[in-house]
Structure 1
Amino acid sequence: MKTQTLEEAVRLTKQFTSKPSNEDLLKLYGLYKQATEGDNENERPGGFDFKSAAKYNSWLQYKGKSKEEAEEEYIQLVEKLSQTHL
């Protein structure tokens, strides 16, 4: 199934019948945030909030990537994951 837009790709992830790996979920999160908000300018989460820190770091690794590039990568990743999780 070929998705054309970010919205279609997001809808497709909600149809997954199995959960992607944490690594893939973090990639999806980082690419989605970069595609929708641009560079991560938020403060790093503190303390022992490991989940938020992982999400922060995932988004941060796409810093400098255009929203369009991040959107395209997100769509490609969803299409790849849909082959094993639908």
Structure 2
Amino acid sequence: MSDLKAQFEQAQKDVRKLTKKPSNDDLLALYSLFKQGSDGDVSGSRPGMLNVVDRAKFDAWAKLKGTKQDAAQKQYIAKVAELLKKLG
């Protein structure tokens, strides 16, 4: 297992240790970086206007289109570390 992959998996565990809920923007960033880091570019069709949450998640992930998975994993790891310092 590569070092980056191990760090990415550890960050997925560490994010569950947050004692306070991150802001919606932080949650969208975590979601989109995780999806880009694990699945690559966004796929599927954009959810309808009435499905506000899934649409926001889709849009956040779509903004990362073209970002390499390794880069997204590094950004996810950094984002988790930042939130752990800020929110404990």
Match of 1:59 in 2: 61
CA offset digits 1:22-72 (Å, max 9, x no partner): 000000000000000000021000130000000000110100000000000
Answer yes or no: is 1:30 the counterpart of 2:35: no
Q: List structure 1 runs of 4+ shifted beyond 2 angstroms.
A: none
Structure-2 residue corresponding to 1:12: 14
Residue among 42, 45, 57 paired with 2:44: 42
Number of equivalenced pairs: 83
Pairwise CA RMSD:
0.9
Q: Which runs of 5+ in 2 are unaligned?
A: 1-5
Q: Which has the higher helix share?
A: 2
Structure 1 distance, partners of 2:36, 2:17, is 23
| Counterpart Cα distance in 1 of 2:37 and 2:10 | 14
Question: So what's the TM-score if we normalise by structure 1?
Answer: 0.92
> Which residues of structure 1 form unaligned runs of 5+?
none
Q: Could you tell me which amino acid in structure 2 is paired with residue 69 of structure 1?
A: A
